[in-house]
Amino acid sequence: MRSTPKSVTYDKSFAFAVRVVKAYKWLCESQKEYVLSRQLLRSGTSIGANIKEGLYAQSKKDFITKLTIALKEAAESEYWIELLSAGQYLDKKTAASMLEDISEIMKLLTASVKTAKAGLKDQCIVDSA
């Protein structure tokens, strides 16, 4: 089995995905909520999957694309958490904690994409010189 390169963003997104899976199970079993929780399950677990793909990207552009997709999935997950909270399926404390986690992941992804794009621009300038 190939190990994943060290990445704080990946580690945080993996921990968030585990939390989402547990929330999905609880929402289905205890709250009998299947539609919104399924959407959160899909987007919340997709974040880490796209980051992992990005860690093995074929190029810097591919890396940027995968992390941008992960960022979009994170934004979608944020929406589903907010909606589940507004619908009173998630209590305020749980929702606030999950929103804090996703906000941190989004900040890390945004910084990574910006850094990678800046490096890509620098590479283009050097290549054209």
**Is there a domain that residue 3 lies in?**
no
Q: Is 28 helix (H, G, I), strand (E, B) or coil?
A: helix
| Local confidence band at 90 (pLDDT 50, 70, 90 cut-offs) | very high
- Domain with 88 in it: 8-128
How far, CA to CA in Å, does 46 sit from each of 52, 66, 91, 106, 121?
Answer: 10, 11, 24, 13, 28
The tokens for 22 are 């547990």
State the average pLDDT over residues 87-92. Answer: 97
Name the 3-class secondary structure at 117: helix
Contacts of 75 (CB under 8 A, 6+ apart): 106
In the predicted model, what is the mean pLDDT of the chain? 93
Q: Give the CATH number, domain containing residue 97.
A: 1.20.1440.60
Mean of the pLDDT values across residues 34-42? 98
If one counts every other C-beta atom within 10 angstroms of the C-beta of residue 108, the result is 21
- Is residue 109 in a domain? yes
Total domain count for the chain? 1
- What pLDDT score was predicted for residue 5? 75
Assigned domain for 71 exists? yes
Q: What is the pLDDT, as a whole number, of residue 116? A: 94
